[in-house]
Amino acid sequence: MAGELVSVAGLHVEYRVGRTVVPAVRGVDLHLRPGECLAVVGESGSGKTAIAKALVGLTGPGSRVRADRLVVGGQDVNGLTDRGWRRVRGARVGLVLQDALTSLDPVRPVGAEIAEAVRNHRVVGRRAVAARVRQLLADAQVPQPELRARQYPHQLSGGLRQRALIAAAMAADPPVLVADEPTTALDVTVQARVLDLLAARKAEGTAVLLISHDLSVVARLADRVAVLHDGVVVETGDTAELLRAPTHPYTRRLLAATPTAHRRGARLAGPRTTPARVRSPRPTGVVAEVSGVSKVFRGPDRQPHRAVSDVSFTLSAGEILGVVGESGSGKSTLAHLLLGLLEPDSGRIGLFGRPWSGVPESRRRRGQVQWVQQDPLGSFDPRYRVSRLIEEAGADRARVHELLDQVGLDRTLADRHPATLSGGQRQRVAIARALAPSPEVIVCDEPVSALDVSVQAQILDLFTDIRADLGTAIVLISHDLGVVHHVADRVLVMRDGEVVESGEVTEVFAQPAHPYTRELIGALPRPQDAYAGQPEGVT
């Protein structure tokens, strides 16, 4: 069709793995006009990254791309040679990837990466390259562009890096920008600013293809959404329309799995399937007391840095306490203090009225406080089978089966190695292992951050079940306010090592007292934004 910058019909992408051919994308149609944003939403394995790569002709070795029509940046690229593609990449279509720390060359200055794109397409004369790089960085709202251009990716914050990456993708002014999970690794307030930057590009007429696993990110930017499942678009439509009245069951399931304000506490992944194993007697009263705890680290510049500063709270049996904060807020250090892996510099931590901090290791009751980490694969010995991983925490064979039942895993998985399990199954094994010594407290550090939204929903449901059945107190540390709001009873908001606000979740979210909490909540993308008609915060 005329006026379309991206026009794709019948796109197939296949990968050859050994002797078998695995289809990643099976007949996808996409259309994008100038100044329009189309979001492709799907979970891992849906083929969304294969689409992004196909649009820049970089599906890589062992892949095969077929399409009835493949127009990118207004140019027919179907069956183009690599030489031909090189004139299209960067000039007609720009690509922005997730996590600029690895997507920008770590050993080259940021400016050199942008200059490369400028030179590749001879955008300006050789002498004007440096000035053009500065201008591009300034356009991407990078302060002090002159200084930043000379710095290396690791010297920039996550938000600045991502903006520099966008500047590099826009260097030759391509009419189309493909952004594959551009904000996934970022804190919410930073994510909001990067989305604003993309919105500004869109307002200037760039067509944006946004690829994401997160419906709420998409709601903020996209005009239309295509929901991808197993390489097929199952539903496509106007963003507001699709979020309000999804027709396909998969879209409904995705939306139901996303924690949102009005469904707090509801089950996210459907009715309960695991048997209830109620513990008696259930623990009661105050489980843990943290009073005035501080921890100071010395940075590489030998300056003391207060990672946790004068934090106090109590934790009661059967309570879920959420701890939210952005990276560097001290929430993981707090977890290590609670677990007794670090000793506080000042302040005290008590467990059931007895001291927990400052006691010799032999007198700790390690089993009473357990840990669930973000990436269970990294915390499992890859050579151990599931049964041994759980037995290691002090369970016999019968108890292993009981625990697997409790976390909703099939007993046959006991003989598998962690690498052969899915992300969700692994996190369930981690929870089973944490439950093995019948702990009073489980500290979960970003337990669902690495999971797809539908799997995240199942794990969050599991936490609610554990609390209901066993009365275990759970400390849930997360950067995701939606997750904390959904399952937690009380919340601590942390910033720069301090608790800036705490209280009942419903109260804190409804009437945030501290400006930082308000900023966090304001930056939170929500699916309903799309139909609440909230204006784009273009800066």
Partner 1 sequence: MISALRWLLRRLALAVLVVLGAATVAFAALHLAPGDPVRAVIGTLNPSQDLVDRVRVDLGLDQPLATQYGQLLGRLVTGDLGESYQLHRPVAEVIASEIGWTAQLAMASLVLALAPSVLLAVTTAGRRPALRRLSTVLELITASSPTFWIGTLLLAVFSFRLRLFPAAGGDGIEGLVLPAAAQAVGLIGIFTQVLRQSMERALDEPFALSARARGTGETALRLRHALRHALIPVVTLSGWITGALFSGAVVVETVFSRPGLGRTLVTAILGRDLPVVIGVVVVAAALFTLINLVVDLLYRVVDPRLREQAA
Tokens of residue 501, six digits: 């606000």
Go through the chain and tell me how many residues it has. Answer: 539
To the nearest whole angstrom, how small is the minimum distance from the Cβ of residue 119 to partner 1?
A: 9
List the one residue out of 301, 268, 243 whose CA is nearest residue 530.
Answer: 243
Pairing, β 224-229 against β 232-238: antiparallel
Binding segment for partner 1 (CB under 8 A), chosen from 89-97, 248-256, 362-370, 465-473, is 89-97
To the nearest whole angstrom, how small is the minimum distance from the Cβ of residue 122 to partner 1?
A: 11
| From candidates 42, 47, 90, 158, binder to partner 1 by CB under 8 A | 90
Closer CB to partner 1, 114 or 349, in the complex:
114
Closer CB to partner 1, 48 or 53, in the complex:
53
To the nearest whole angstrom, how small is the minimum distance from the Cβ of residue 153 to partner 1?
A: 9
List the one residue out of 225, 206, 207 whose CA is nearest residue 217.
Answer: 225
Give the x-and-dash track for 285-324 against partner 1 (CB under 8 A).
Answer: ---------------x------------------------
Give the x-and-dash track for 99-128 against partner 1 (CB under 8 A).
Answer: x--xxxxxxx----x--xx--xx-------
Cβ-in-10-Å burial (0-12, 13-18, 19+) of 268 comes to buried
Between vectors from CA 264 to CA 290 and to CA 351, what angle results, nearest 5°? Answer: 15
| From candidates 8, 30, 166, 171, binder to partner 1 by CB under 8 A | 171
Count each helix (H run) and each strand (E run) in the chain, helices first.
21, 21
To the nearest whole angstrom, how small is the minimum distance from the Cβ of residue 127 to partner 1?
A: 20
Closer CB to partner 1, 82 or 361, in the complex:
82
Site residue total, partner 1 (CB under 8 A):
37
To the nearest whole angstrom, how small is the minimum distance from the Cβ of residue 237 to partner 1?
A: 29
Binding segment for partner 1 (CB under 8 A), chosen from 63-71, 90-98, 136-144, 490-498, is 90-98
To the nearest whole angstrom, how small is the minimum distance from the Cβ of residue 56 to partner 1?
A: 5
To the nearest whole angstrom, how small is the minimum distance from the Cβ of residue 98 to partner 1?
A: 8
Q: What is the dihedral of CA 448, 454, 460, 465, to 10 degrees?
A: -140
Helix, strand and coil percent figures for the chain, each rounded to 5: 40, 25, 35
- All residues at 6 or more sequence positions from 129 whose CB lies less than 8 Å from its CB, including other chains: 115, 118, 119
To the nearest whole angstrom, how small is the minimum distance from the Cβ of residue 370 to partner 1?
A: 34
To the nearest whole angstrom, how small is the minimum distance from the Cβ of residue 52 to partner 1?
A: 9
| From candidates 110, 169, 185, 487, binder to partner 1 by CB under 8 A | 169
- Amino acid, res. 152: Y
Question: Where in 129-158 is the site for partner 1 (CB under 8 A)?
Answer: 152, 154
Q: Which residues pair with 349 in a beta bridge?
A: 290
Closer CB to partner 1, 285 or 300, in the complex:
300
Binding segment for partner 1 (CB under 8 A), chosen from 28-36, 168-176, 398-406, 523-531, is 168-176
To the nearest whole angstrom, how small is the minimum distance from the Cβ of residue 152 to partner 1?
A: 5
Closer CB to partner 1, 94 or 482, in the complex:
94
List the one residue out of 323, 240, 311, 291 whose CA is nearest residue 505.
Answer: 323
**Cα distance between residue 167 and residue 137, in whole Å:** 6
Cβ-in-10-Å burial (0-12, 13-18, 19+) of 96 comes to buried
Tokens of residue 80, six digits: 């183009």
Residue 177 CB-half CA count within 13 A: 31
Closer CB to partner 1, 181 or 214, in the complex:
181
**Cα distance between residue 389 and residue 433, in whole Å:** 7
Q: Which residue has the tokens 């059945």?
A: 469
Question: Where in 26-85 is the site for partner 1 (CB under 8 A)?
Answer: 53, 56, 58, 61, 82
Closer CB to partner 1, 95 or 243, in the complex:
95
DSSP type of residue 535: P
Q: Considering the rule CB under 8 A, would residue 202 count as an interface residue with partner 1? A: no
Contact by Cβ (8 Å): 243, 527: yes
Contact by Cβ (8 Å): 264, 316: no
Q: Collapsing DSSP states into helix, strand and coil, what is residue 479?
A: coil
Closer CB to partner 1, 108 or 263, in the complex:
108
| From candidates 51, 137, 165, 288, binder to partner 1 by CB under 8 A | 165
**Cα distance between residue 494 and residue 477, in whole Å:** 10
Q: Contact residues for partner 1 (CB under 8 A)?
A: 53, 56, 58, 61, 82, 86-91, 93-95, 97-99, 102-108, 113, 116-117, 120-121, 152, 154, 165, 168-169, 171-172, 300
